[in-house]
Amino acid sequence: MTKDDKLTEEKIFDAATEIFEEKGLAATRMQDIADRAGINKALLHYYFRSKDKLFNAVFDKLAEKIFAKFASIFEEDMPFEDKIRFFFTEHIKFLQKNPKLPMFIIGEVNRSPELLSKFLDRININRIKEKISGDLGDDISPDVIPHLMVSIISLSVFPVAAKPIISGILDSAGIDYDSFMEERIKVAPEFVINAIKQQQVESQNKRK
């Protein structure tokens, strides 16, 4: 691939990402992407034969950004509480810079659940679950781990995905949304950490 080919492909990919995030797969036309990229439709088809092929490439890239990058945090060699704090700091800041991404992922996965299942297999989600379980030890039941994982994602993603709702609630209370999100970087991980500690105490009491 020549340098010009690579630049054209990147231009198409960036344009497709913007259009797919705005409209989703079903409502997007190849002509929309060609227009956004500033090329003709024939050239677009030369690089990407079909809308589905281009969409799959975009979805994998975006899912990689929102899942794989942050899932790897739990592989780091640091205390688990530090991992939780680091995850929320990095993930919330990332989502603030990419506010359309959560709804795009949710919408497309609702349309085609296999998109996410294939991706989660690729990043080995079971390995992440095992790593979290290993970090927490015997004081946390394995049955609690999936709830913990979902809670971590929800606490991070929901305020961004549901920004109009959250903003309305905060406005009525005289609270600025951006200030709230800055506070959330500190508050959200403590909710998770305190919940884990409570589970550990209950587990220890049961063994007494």
Domain that holds residue 193: 62-207
pLDDT digits over 64-112, tens only?
A: 777 776 778 888 888 999 999 999 999 999 999 988 888 888 888 888 8
Same structural domain, 72 and 116: yes
Q: Domain end: 24, 49, 74, which one?
A: 49
- For the entire predicted model, the pTM comes to 0.78
Same structural domain, 74 and 105: yes
pLDDT digits over 118-140, tens only?
A: 777 777 778 888 888 888 877 78
Same structural domain, 89 and 36: no
Please check the confidence at residue 181 and state whether its pLDDT lies above 90: yes
Please check the confidence at residue 24 and state whether its pLDDT lies above 80: yes
Same structural domain, 125 and 193: yes
Please check the confidence at residue 23 and state whether its pLDDT lies above 80: yes
**Which contacts qualify for 186-193: CB closer than 8 Å, 24 or more apart?**
188/88, 188/92, 188/155, 188/156, 189/81, 189/84, 189/85, 189/87, 189/88, 189/89, 191/155, 192/84, 192/148, 192/151, 192/152, 192/155, 193/81, 193/84, 193/85
